[in-house]
Amino acid sequence: MKNYTITVNGTAYDVTVEEGTTGAAQAAAPKAAPKAAPKAAPKAAAPAGGSAGAVKVAASVPGKVCKVEAKVGQAVKTGDNIIILEAMKMEIPVVAPQDGTIASIDVAVGDTVENGDALASMN
């Protein structure tokens, strides 16, 4: 077995490859255990409306905004969905990192975002 580290869009993955009895390498089920990878500095984004909050909510993956589930002024709890991103034909929820109130939503449905882009802010 051989171990490799593969980096995709700034995220490192450990992959183990087993060698078959015929001599040809066969990929085992990849063990996608993300490692701490250096993150790119987020781009400065102007709030769409209202004042910016103290806690920034950023995109964890590049993708397209397919749903905005929270509204400015809405109280949210840790883990509540704020925005849903579509990446690689999957819906990826962006959740509230802590209890608070949504201060601004900085994106709209259909916007394309990069890893680290500001999506919303909270107080």
Q: Is 71 found in the same domain as 24?
A: no
In angstroms, how far is the first alpha carbon of the chain from the final one? Answer: 49
34 inside domain: yes
- Kindly report, residue by residue over 22-67, the tens digit of the pLDDT: 544 444 444 544 554 444 444 444 444 445 678 899 998 999 999 9
Q: Is the pTM of this model over 0.75?
A: no
pLDDT for 39 equals 47
CATH number at residue 87: 2.40.50.100
Q: Is 33 found in the same domain as 59?
A: no
Q: How far apart are CA 69 and CA 54, in angstroms?
A: 20
Show the domain range for 68.
55-122
Q: How many domains is the chain built from?
A: 2
46 inside domain: no
Q: Is 65 found in the same domain as 99?
A: yes
**Cβ count within 10 A of residue 105:** 23
30 inside domain: yes
Q: Radius of gyration of the chain from Cα atoms?
A: 18
pLDDT, average across residues 14-20: 75
Cβ contact 53:74 at 8 Å: no
pLDDT for 50 equals 43
49 inside domain: no
Q: Is 113 found in the same domain as 77?
A: yes
62 inside domain: yes
Query: Band of the pLDDT at 105, cuts 50, 70, 90?
Result: very high
DSSP string, 72-91: TT-EE-TT-EEEEEEETTEE
